[in-house]
Structure 1
Amino acid sequence: MSARDNILGRLRDRQGGPLSAPDSDFGVVTGRQWSRHERLERFEHWISSVHGEVIHCESAGWTETLARVLADKGVKRLALGREHPVAQQAREALADHEVELVDADRDIEGWKRELFDGVEAGLTSTRGAIAETGSLWLWPTPDEPRLLSLVPPLHIAVLDADSVEDTFFDVVTGQGWASAMPTNALLISGPSKTSDIEQTLAYGVHGPRELVVILRDA
Protein backbone atom coordinates (compact mmCIF):
# COMPACT_ATOMS: atom_id res chain seq x y z
CA MET A 1 0.00 0.00 0.00
CA SER A 2 1.32 3.41 -0.96
CA ALA A 3 1.78 6.36 1.39
CA ARG A 4 -1.11 8.08 -0.38
CA ASP A 5 -3.40 5.10 0.26
CA ASN A 6 -2.36 5.07 3.93
CA ILE A 7 -3.20 8.72 4.37
CA LEU A 8 -6.55 8.45 2.60
CA GLY A 9 -7.36 5.33 4.55
CA ARG A 10 -6.74 7.05 7.87
CA LEU A 11 -8.97 9.92 6.80
CA ARG A 12 -11.79 7.54 5.81
CA ASP A 13 -11.50 5.52 9.02
CA ARG A 14 -11.18 8.43 11.46
CA GLN A 15 -13.46 8.47 14.50
CA GLY A 16 -15.82 11.31 15.39
CA GLY A 17 -17.99 11.59 12.31
CA PRO A 18 -17.48 13.52 9.08
CA LEU A 19 -15.18 16.51 8.89
CA SER A 20 -16.79 19.93 8.70
CA ALA A 21 -15.36 23.26 7.69
CA PRO A 22 -14.53 25.59 10.59
CA ASP A 23 -16.41 28.82 11.05
CA SER A 24 -14.57 31.60 9.21
CA ASP A 25 -14.80 35.36 9.22
CA PHE A 26 -14.49 36.58 5.63
CA GLY A 27 -14.95 40.24 6.55
CA VAL A 28 -11.34 41.04 5.74
CA VAL A 29 -11.76 40.00 2.08
CA THR A 30 -15.19 41.41 1.26
CA GLY A 31 -17.71 44.04 2.30
CA ARG A 32 -16.00 47.02 0.70
CA GLN A 33 -19.31 48.54 -0.41
CA TRP A 34 -17.69 50.85 -2.94
CA SER A 35 -19.85 52.78 -5.35
CA ARG A 36 -19.66 52.05 -9.06
CA HIS A 37 -17.53 55.16 -9.56
CA GLU A 38 -15.17 54.12 -6.78
CA ARG A 39 -14.78 50.62 -8.20
CA LEU A 40 -13.85 51.93 -11.64
CA GLU A 41 -11.52 54.54 -10.18
CA ARG A 42 -9.70 51.98 -8.02
CA PHE A 43 -9.44 49.45 -10.83
CA GLU A 44 -7.91 52.00 -13.18
CA HIS A 45 -5.54 53.33 -10.53
CA TRP A 46 -4.09 49.94 -9.68
CA ILE A 47 -3.81 48.51 -13.17
CA SER A 48 -2.27 51.78 -14.42
CA SER A 49 0.28 51.65 -11.61
CA VAL A 50 1.82 48.56 -13.23
CA HIS A 51 1.83 49.97 -16.79
CA GLY A 52 -1.62 48.84 -17.87
CA GLU A 53 -3.41 51.34 -20.13
CA VAL A 54 -7.14 51.96 -19.75
CA ILE A 55 -9.12 53.62 -22.53
CA HIS A 56 -12.71 54.65 -21.81
CA CYS A 57 -15.36 54.52 -24.51
CA GLU A 58 -19.08 54.08 -24.99
CA SER A 59 -20.24 50.54 -25.59
CA ALA A 60 -21.76 51.39 -28.96
CA GLY A 61 -18.50 52.74 -30.37
CA TRP A 62 -15.89 50.45 -28.86
CA THR A 63 -14.75 49.03 -32.19
CA GLU A 64 -13.77 52.54 -33.33
CA THR A 65 -11.59 52.74 -30.23
CA LEU A 66 -10.11 49.37 -31.10
CA ALA A 67 -9.26 50.55 -34.62
CA ARG A 68 -7.51 53.63 -33.21
CA VAL A 69 -5.49 51.52 -30.78
CA LEU A 70 -4.37 49.21 -33.58
CA ALA A 71 -3.38 52.18 -35.74
CA ASP A 72 -1.55 53.95 -32.91
CA LYS A 73 0.35 50.78 -31.98
CA GLY A 74 1.16 49.93 -35.60
CA VAL A 75 -0.56 46.54 -35.41
CA LYS A 76 -0.85 44.77 -38.75
CA ARG A 77 -1.70 41.24 -37.55
CA LEU A 78 -4.30 40.70 -34.83
CA ALA A 79 -5.18 37.30 -33.36
CA LEU A 80 -8.73 36.82 -32.11
CA GLY A 81 -11.54 34.30 -31.77
CA ARG A 82 -14.68 33.88 -33.83
CA GLU A 83 -17.63 33.01 -31.60
CA HIS A 84 -17.62 35.55 -28.78
CA PRO A 85 -19.56 38.78 -29.54
CA VAL A 86 -16.37 40.80 -28.94
CA ALA A 87 -14.57 38.86 -31.67
CA GLN A 88 -17.55 38.95 -34.02
CA GLN A 89 -17.98 42.71 -33.69
CA ALA A 90 -14.26 43.30 -34.08
CA ARG A 91 -14.11 41.20 -37.24
CA GLU A 92 -17.00 43.07 -38.78
CA ALA A 93 -15.58 46.48 -37.89
CA LEU A 94 -12.06 45.69 -39.12
CA ALA A 95 -13.10 44.06 -42.39
CA ASP A 96 -12.12 47.17 -44.38
CA HIS A 97 -9.01 48.03 -42.37
CA GLU A 98 -5.44 47.12 -43.23
CA VAL A 99 -5.19 44.65 -40.36
CA GLU A 100 -4.83 40.92 -41.00
CA LEU A 101 -7.10 38.93 -38.71
CA VAL A 102 -5.52 35.71 -37.47
CA ASP A 103 -7.81 32.91 -36.31
CA ALA A 104 -7.11 31.79 -32.74
CA ASP A 105 -9.52 28.83 -32.61
CA ARG A 106 -6.98 26.32 -33.92
CA ASP A 107 -4.85 23.52 -32.50
CA ILE A 108 -1.80 25.30 -31.10
CA GLU A 109 0.56 22.81 -32.75
CA GLY A 110 -0.69 24.02 -36.11
CA TRP A 111 0.10 27.70 -35.60
CA LYS A 112 2.55 27.92 -32.70
CA ARG A 113 5.33 29.50 -34.77
CA GLU A 114 2.88 31.99 -36.30
CA LEU A 115 1.56 32.95 -32.86
CA PHE A 116 4.99 33.43 -31.29
CA ASP A 117 6.72 35.07 -34.24
CA GLY A 118 4.10 36.62 -36.51
CA VAL A 119 1.29 38.06 -34.40
CA GLU A 120 1.60 41.58 -33.01
CA ALA A 121 -1.49 41.65 -30.78
CA GLY A 122 -4.16 39.45 -29.27
CA LEU A 123 -7.74 40.56 -28.61
CA THR A 124 -9.83 38.95 -25.87
CA SER A 125 -13.04 39.47 -24.02
CA THR A 126 -13.06 39.49 -20.22
CA ARG A 127 -15.48 38.09 -17.68
CA GLY A 128 -14.89 40.97 -15.28
CA ALA A 129 -12.36 42.78 -13.14
CA ILE A 130 -11.37 43.35 -9.51
CA ALA A 131 -11.23 46.89 -8.18
CA GLU A 132 -9.15 46.12 -5.10
CA THR A 133 -6.18 44.76 -7.03
CA GLY A 134 -6.64 46.24 -10.50
CA SER A 135 -6.99 42.80 -12.06
CA LEU A 136 -8.87 41.43 -15.03
CA TRP A 137 -10.26 37.92 -14.91
CA LEU A 138 -10.61 35.83 -18.02
CA TRP A 139 -12.13 32.42 -18.59
CA PRO A 140 -10.32 30.95 -21.62
CA THR A 141 -12.21 28.80 -24.12
CA PRO A 142 -11.24 26.95 -27.31
CA ASP A 143 -12.43 30.07 -29.16
CA GLU A 144 -10.27 32.35 -26.99
CA PRO A 145 -7.40 30.17 -25.71
CA ARG A 146 -5.23 31.47 -22.89
CA LEU A 147 -2.23 31.88 -25.20
CA LEU A 148 -4.14 34.68 -26.92
CA SER A 149 -3.56 36.87 -23.86
CA LEU A 150 -0.19 35.44 -22.78
CA VAL A 151 1.93 35.39 -25.93
CA PRO A 152 1.50 38.37 -28.32
CA PRO A 153 3.51 41.53 -27.48
CA LEU A 154 0.26 43.49 -27.06
CA HIS A 155 -2.83 42.21 -25.26
CA ILE A 156 -6.03 44.16 -25.88
CA ALA A 157 -8.79 43.27 -23.41
CA VAL A 158 -12.40 44.45 -23.68
CA LEU A 159 -14.03 45.08 -20.31
CA ASP A 160 -17.59 46.13 -19.44
CA ALA A 161 -17.73 48.70 -16.64
CA ASP A 162 -20.61 46.95 -14.90
CA SER A 163 -18.60 43.73 -14.54
CA VAL A 164 -16.02 45.27 -12.19
CA GLU A 165 -16.43 43.87 -8.66
CA ASP A 166 -14.90 44.97 -5.37
CA THR A 167 -12.70 42.01 -4.42
CA PHE A 168 -11.58 38.59 -5.60
CA PHE A 169 -13.76 37.04 -2.90
CA ASP A 170 -16.77 38.80 -4.42
CA VAL A 171 -15.93 37.30 -7.81
CA VAL A 172 -15.56 33.78 -6.40
CA THR A 173 -18.83 33.91 -4.46
CA GLY A 174 -20.82 35.97 -6.96
CA GLN A 175 -19.88 33.72 -9.88
CA GLY A 176 -20.50 30.50 -7.94
CA TRP A 177 -16.98 29.11 -8.28
CA ALA A 178 -17.55 26.75 -5.34
CA SER A 179 -19.94 24.68 -7.46
CA ALA A 180 -18.64 25.45 -10.95
CA MET A 181 -15.05 26.58 -10.68
CA PRO A 182 -13.44 27.35 -14.05
CA THR A 183 -10.65 24.95 -14.96
CA ASN A 184 -8.41 27.70 -16.24
CA ALA A 185 -9.34 31.16 -14.97
CA LEU A 186 -6.72 33.85 -15.60
CA LEU A 187 -6.05 36.86 -13.41
CA ILE A 188 -4.21 39.62 -15.27
CA SER A 189 -2.83 42.63 -13.40
CA GLY A 190 -0.89 44.48 -16.09
CA PRO A 191 1.58 43.41 -18.78
CA SER A 192 4.06 40.61 -18.14
CA LYS A 193 6.72 41.54 -15.60
CA THR A 194 9.59 39.92 -13.73
CA SER A 195 12.55 40.99 -11.62
CA ASP A 196 16.05 39.69 -10.98
CA ILE A 197 17.82 39.09 -7.69
CA GLU A 198 18.47 42.84 -7.39
CA GLN A 199 14.72 43.46 -7.72
CA THR A 200 15.09 45.32 -11.01
CA LEU A 201 11.64 45.14 -12.61
CA ALA A 202 11.40 44.37 -16.33
CA TYR A 203 8.28 44.20 -18.50
CA GLY A 204 7.49 41.86 -21.37
CA VAL A 205 10.19 39.28 -20.72
CA HIS A 206 7.85 36.28 -20.64
CA GLY A 207 4.70 37.65 -22.22
CA PRO A 208 2.96 40.84 -23.42
CA ARG A 209 4.96 44.05 -23.14
CA GLU A 210 1.75 46.07 -23.24
CA LEU A 211 -1.78 45.70 -21.92
CA VAL A 212 -4.58 47.91 -23.22
CA VAL A 213 -7.98 47.69 -21.55
CA ILE A 214 -10.88 49.04 -23.59
CA LEU A 215 -13.36 49.91 -20.88
CA ARG A 216 -16.89 49.98 -22.30
CA ASP A 217 -19.28 52.17 -20.37
CA ALA A 218 -22.89 52.75 -21.40
Structure 2
Amino acid sequence: MSARDNIFKRLRERADGPLTAPESDFAVVTGRGWGREERLARFERWITSVHGEVIHTSCDAWASALVEVLEAKGIRRLALGREHPVAAEARAALAEGGVVLIDADRDIEAWRHEQFHDADAGLTSTRGAIAETGSLWLWPTPDEPRLLSLVPPIHIAVLDADTVEDTFFDVIERNGWADDMPTNALLISGPSKTADIEQTLAYGVHGPRELVVLLRHREQCP
Protein backbone atom coordinates (compact mmCIF):
# COMPACT_ATOMS: atom_id res chain seq x y z
CA MET A 1 0.00 0.00 0.00
CA SER A 2 1.37 3.41 -0.97
CA ALA A 3 1.85 6.33 1.43
CA ARG A 4 -1.04 8.07 -0.31
CA ASP A 5 -3.33 5.09 0.27
CA ASN A 6 -2.27 4.92 3.91
CA ILE A 7 -3.20 8.57 4.44
CA PHE A 8 -6.63 8.11 2.86
CA LYS A 9 -7.20 4.93 4.88
CA ARG A 10 -6.47 6.72 8.15
CA LEU A 11 -8.82 9.55 7.18
CA ARG A 12 -11.63 7.10 6.36
CA GLU A 13 -11.16 5.24 9.64
CA ARG A 14 -11.18 8.27 11.89
CA ALA A 15 -12.80 7.35 15.21
CA ASP A 16 -14.57 10.69 15.57
CA GLY A 17 -16.32 10.54 12.19
CA PRO A 18 -15.68 12.19 8.84
CA LEU A 19 -14.06 15.58 8.54
CA THR A 20 -16.40 18.51 8.00
CA ALA A 21 -15.63 22.05 6.89
CA PRO A 22 -15.62 24.53 9.78
CA GLU A 23 -18.27 27.22 9.93
CA SER A 24 -16.97 30.49 8.56
CA ASP A 25 -18.08 34.05 9.16
CA PHE A 26 -17.79 36.02 5.93
CA ALA A 27 -19.25 39.24 7.35
CA VAL A 28 -15.90 41.01 7.04
CA VAL A 29 -15.86 40.60 3.23
CA THR A 30 -19.50 41.31 2.42
CA GLY A 31 -22.58 43.06 3.78
CA ARG A 32 -21.61 46.61 2.86
CA GLY A 33 -25.26 47.54 2.33
CA TRP A 34 -24.55 50.20 -0.27
CA GLY A 35 -27.36 51.41 -2.51
CA ARG A 36 -27.04 51.46 -6.28
CA GLU A 37 -25.96 55.10 -6.55
CA GLU A 38 -23.35 54.72 -3.81
CA ARG A 39 -21.99 51.59 -5.49
CA LEU A 40 -21.55 53.42 -8.77
CA ALA A 41 -20.02 56.45 -7.07
CA ARG A 42 -17.51 54.31 -5.19
CA PHE A 43 -16.59 52.35 -8.29
CA GLU A 44 -16.00 55.52 -10.29
CA ARG A 45 -14.07 57.24 -7.50
CA TRP A 46 -11.64 54.35 -7.08
CA ILE A 47 -11.05 53.54 -10.74
CA THR A 48 -10.53 57.20 -11.70
CA SER A 49 -8.11 57.63 -8.80
CA VAL A 50 -5.67 55.42 -10.73
CA HIS A 51 -6.18 57.13 -14.10
CA GLY A 52 -9.15 55.11 -15.30
CA GLU A 53 -11.73 57.10 -17.28
CA VAL A 54 -15.48 56.60 -16.89
CA ILE A 55 -17.98 57.82 -19.49
CA HIS A 56 -21.66 57.60 -18.59
CA THR A 57 -24.05 56.69 -21.36
CA SER A 58 -27.37 54.96 -21.97
CA CYS A 59 -27.69 51.48 -23.38
CA ASP A 60 -28.96 52.79 -26.70
CA ALA A 61 -26.31 55.51 -27.08
CA TRP A 62 -23.14 53.75 -25.97
CA ALA A 63 -22.05 52.95 -29.52
CA SER A 64 -22.19 56.66 -30.37
CA ALA A 65 -20.11 57.34 -27.25
CA LEU A 66 -17.62 54.75 -28.49
CA VAL A 67 -17.32 56.55 -31.84
CA GLU A 68 -16.63 59.81 -29.99
CA VAL A 69 -13.93 58.16 -27.85
CA LEU A 70 -12.21 56.72 -30.92
CA GLU A 71 -12.23 60.11 -32.63
CA ALA A 72 -11.01 61.98 -29.53
CA LYS A 73 -8.11 59.59 -28.96
CA GLY A 74 -7.16 59.22 -32.60
CA ILE A 75 -7.84 55.48 -32.65
CA ARG A 76 -7.77 54.17 -36.21
CA ARG A 77 -7.34 50.42 -35.64
CA LEU A 78 -9.60 48.72 -33.10
CA ALA A 79 -9.32 45.07 -32.07
CA LEU A 80 -12.55 43.38 -31.00
CA GLY A 81 -14.56 40.18 -31.11
CA ARG A 82 -17.46 39.35 -33.39
CA GLU A 83 -20.01 37.20 -31.56
CA HIS A 84 -20.64 39.08 -28.32
CA PRO A 85 -23.49 41.64 -28.56
CA VAL A 86 -21.09 44.43 -27.57
CA ALA A 87 -18.73 43.58 -30.41
CA ALA A 88 -21.59 43.11 -32.90
CA GLU A 89 -23.15 46.49 -32.06
CA ALA A 90 -19.77 48.22 -32.20
CA ARG A 91 -19.09 46.74 -35.62
CA ALA A 92 -22.44 47.98 -36.90
CA ALA A 93 -21.76 51.49 -35.60
CA LEU A 94 -18.29 51.58 -37.15
CA ALA A 95 -19.13 49.89 -40.44
CA GLU A 96 -19.19 53.14 -42.43
CA GLY A 97 -16.36 54.90 -40.59
CA GLY A 98 -12.65 55.09 -41.12
CA VAL A 99 -11.70 52.77 -38.26
CA VAL A 100 -10.06 49.50 -39.26
CA LEU A 101 -11.60 46.60 -37.31
CA ILE A 102 -9.16 43.85 -36.32
CA ASP A 103 -10.73 40.45 -35.64
CA ALA A 104 -9.70 39.08 -32.24
CA ASP A 105 -11.30 35.64 -32.56
CA ARG A 106 -8.26 34.12 -34.23
CA ASP A 107 -5.35 32.01 -33.10
CA ILE A 108 -2.72 34.30 -31.62
CA GLU A 109 -0.17 33.21 -34.23
CA ALA A 110 -2.50 34.45 -36.98
CA TRP A 111 -2.54 38.05 -35.75
CA ARG A 112 0.40 38.41 -33.38
CA HIS A 113 1.93 41.31 -35.32
CA GLU A 114 -1.40 43.16 -35.62
CA GLN A 115 -2.06 42.78 -31.91
CA PHE A 116 1.35 43.88 -30.67
CA HIS A 117 2.18 46.50 -33.30
CA ASP A 118 -0.89 47.70 -35.19
CA ALA A 119 -3.89 47.77 -32.84
CA ASP A 120 -4.45 51.19 -31.28
CA ALA A 121 -7.06 49.88 -28.83
CA GLY A 122 -8.96 46.80 -27.75
CA LEU A 123 -12.70 46.73 -27.03
CA THR A 124 -14.22 44.22 -24.60
CA SER A 125 -17.42 43.54 -22.76
CA THR A 126 -17.34 43.00 -19.00
CA ARG A 127 -19.21 40.66 -16.66
CA GLY A 128 -19.42 43.27 -13.92
CA ALA A 129 -17.44 45.39 -11.49
CA ILE A 130 -16.54 45.78 -7.81
CA ALA A 131 -17.41 49.02 -6.02
CA GLU A 132 -15.11 48.46 -3.05
CA THR A 133 -11.93 48.34 -5.14
CA GLY A 134 -12.95 50.06 -8.38
CA SER A 135 -12.32 46.90 -10.39
CA LEU A 136 -13.79 45.43 -13.55
CA TRP A 137 -14.09 41.69 -13.92
CA LEU A 138 -13.89 39.98 -17.27
CA TRP A 139 -14.35 36.37 -18.27
CA PRO A 140 -12.32 35.91 -21.48
CA THR A 141 -13.64 33.69 -24.27
CA PRO A 142 -12.29 32.63 -27.69
CA ASP A 143 -14.30 35.56 -29.11
CA GLU A 144 -12.78 37.99 -26.60
CA PRO A 145 -9.40 36.53 -25.57
CA ARG A 146 -7.66 37.97 -22.53
CA LEU A 147 -4.87 39.56 -24.59
CA LEU A 148 -7.52 41.87 -26.07
CA SER A 149 -7.57 43.77 -22.78
CA LEU A 150 -3.89 43.30 -21.88
CA VAL A 151 -1.89 44.17 -25.00
CA PRO A 152 -3.25 47.18 -26.99
CA PRO A 153 -2.19 50.59 -25.58
CA ILE A 154 -5.81 51.55 -24.86
CA HIS A 155 -8.47 49.26 -23.37
CA ILE A 156 -12.11 50.27 -23.84
CA ALA A 157 -14.50 48.29 -21.64
CA VAL A 158 -18.30 48.33 -21.75
CA LEU A 159 -19.91 47.96 -18.32
CA ASP A 160 -23.59 47.75 -17.39
CA ALA A 161 -24.39 49.77 -14.26
CA ASP A 162 -26.61 47.07 -12.81
CA THR A 163 -23.74 44.54 -12.75
CA VAL A 164 -21.65 46.48 -10.21
CA GLU A 165 -21.44 44.58 -6.89
CA ASP A 166 -20.29 45.81 -3.49
CA THR A 167 -17.35 43.44 -2.95
CA PHE A 168 -15.40 40.65 -4.64
CA PHE A 169 -17.14 38.18 -2.31
CA ASP A 170 -20.51 39.35 -3.66
CA VAL A 171 -19.30 38.76 -7.22
CA ILE A 172 -18.24 35.21 -6.36
CA GLU A 173 -21.45 34.42 -4.49
CA ARG A 174 -24.01 36.00 -6.82
CA ASN A 175 -22.43 34.62 -9.98
CA GLY A 176 -22.16 31.08 -8.63
CA TRP A 177 -18.39 30.67 -8.86
CA ALA A 178 -18.55 27.81 -6.34
CA ASP A 179 -20.44 25.74 -8.92
CA ASP A 180 -19.05 27.20 -12.14
CA MET A 181 -15.79 29.00 -11.47
CA PRO A 182 -14.28 30.73 -14.50
CA THR A 183 -10.95 29.28 -15.59
CA ASN A 184 -9.49 32.66 -16.50
CA ALA A 185 -11.29 35.58 -14.84
CA LEU A 186 -9.54 38.95 -15.02
CA LEU A 187 -9.72 41.72 -12.42
CA ILE A 188 -8.78 45.10 -13.89
CA SER A 189 -8.33 48.12 -11.62
CA GLY A 190 -7.19 50.89 -13.94
CA PRO A 191 -4.55 51.00 -16.69
CA SER A 192 -1.26 49.12 -16.39
CA LYS A 193 1.07 50.73 -13.87
CA THR A 194 4.42 49.99 -12.29
CA ALA A 195 7.00 51.78 -10.16
CA ASP A 196 10.80 51.71 -10.17
CA ILE A 197 13.09 51.55 -7.15
CA GLU A 198 12.69 55.31 -6.66
CA GLN A 199 8.90 54.83 -6.43
CA THR A 200 8.23 56.75 -9.64
CA LEU A 201 4.88 55.51 -10.97
CA ALA A 202 4.65 54.87 -14.71
CA TYR A 203 1.62 53.86 -16.77
CA GLY A 204 1.49 51.56 -19.77
CA VAL A 205 4.85 49.85 -19.33
CA HIS A 206 3.47 46.30 -19.27
CA GLY A 207 -0.02 46.79 -20.74
CA PRO A 208 -2.59 49.43 -21.66
CA ARG A 209 -1.61 52.97 -20.71
CA GLU A 210 -5.27 54.03 -20.77
CA LEU A 211 -8.50 52.42 -19.59
CA VAL A 212 -11.84 53.84 -20.72
CA VAL A 213 -15.05 52.47 -19.20
CA LEU A 214 -18.31 53.09 -21.06
CA LEU A 215 -20.78 52.80 -18.18
CA ARG A 216 -24.25 51.97 -19.56
CA HIS A 217 -27.31 52.99 -17.54
CA ARG A 218 -30.22 50.86 -18.66
CA GLU A 219 -32.88 52.99 -16.98
CA GLN A 220 -32.01 55.71 -19.49
CA CYS A 221 -33.32 53.58 -22.36
CA PRO A 222 -36.67 54.58 -23.92
- Taking structure 2 as the reference length, the TM-score comes to 0.93
d(CA) in 1 for partners of 2:27, 2:101:
46
d(CA) in 1 for partners of 2:118, 2:73:
15
Q: Equivalent residue for 1:165?
A: 165
Q: Equivalent residue for 1:10?
A: 7
After TM superposition, give the deviation of residue 46 of structure 1 in Å.
Answer: 0.2
User: Which sections of structure 1, spanning at least 5 residues, go unmatched?
Assistant: none
Structure 1 runs of 4+ with >3 Å offset? 5-9
d(CA) in 2 for partners of 1:12, 1:193:
50
d(CA) in 1 for partners of 2:49, 2:65:
22
User: Which sections of structure 2, spanning at least 5 residues, go unmatched?
Assistant: none
- 1:9–1:196 distance in 2 versus 1, CA, 3 Å: farther
Cα displacement string for residues 11-39 of structure 1 (whole angstroms, at most 9, x for unaligned residues):
55322443221111100100011110000
d(CA) in 2 for partners of 1:176, 1:200:
40
Cα displacement string for residues 107-134 of structure 1 (whole angstroms, at most 9, x for unaligned residues):
0011111100010000000000000000
d(CA) in 1 for partners of 2:156, 2:162:
18
After TM superposition, give the deviation of residue 196 of structure 1 in Å.
Answer: 1.9
The number of aligned residues is 215
d(CA) in 1 for partners of 2:196, 2:163:
35
After TM superposition, give the deviation of residue 6 of structure 1 in Å.
Answer: 3.9
State whether structure 2 residue 32 is matched by structure 1 residue 35. no
d(CA) in 2 for partners of 1:13, 1:106:
51
- 1:43–1:83 distance in 2 versus 1, CA, 3 Å: same
Q: Equivalent residue for 1:99?
A: 99
Instruction: Report % sequence identity.
Output: 71
Q: Equivalent residue for 1:141?
A: 141
Specify the code of the residue in structure 1 equivalent to 2:34.
W
d(CA) in 2 for partners of 1:8, 1:96:
66
d(CA) in 1 for partners of 2:196, 2:3:
42
Cα RMSD (Å):
1.4
Q: Equivalent residue for 2:85?
A: 85
- Taking structure 1 as the reference length, the TM-score comes to 0.95
Q: Equivalent residue for 1:56?
A: 56
Report the more deviating stretch, 18-27 or 148-157: 18-27
- 1:152–1:20 distance in 2 versus 1, CA, 3 Å: same
Q: Equivalent residue for 2:109?
A: 109
d(CA) in 1 for partners of 2:108, 2:126:
21
d(CA) in 1 for partners of 2:201, 2:39:
27
After TM superposition, give the deviation of residue 136 of structure 1 in Å.
Answer: 0.2
Specify the code of the residue in structure 1 equivalent to 2:106.
R
Q: Equivalent residue for 1:199?
A: 199
Report the more deviating stretch, 191-200 or 72-81: 191-200
- 1:124–1:8 distance in 2 versus 1, CA, 3 Å: farther
Specify the code of the residue in structure 2 equivalent to 1:151.
V
d(CA) in 2 for partners of 1:29, 1:8:
38
d(CA) in 2 for partners of 1:133, 1:7:
42
Specify the code of the residue in structure 2 equivalent to 1:110.
A
- 1:25–1:119 distance in 2 versus 1, CA, 3 Å: same
Q: Equivalent residue for 1:72?
A: 72
- 1:95–1:9 distance in 2 versus 1, CA, 3 Å: farther
Specify the code of the residue in structure 2 equivalent to 1:160.
D
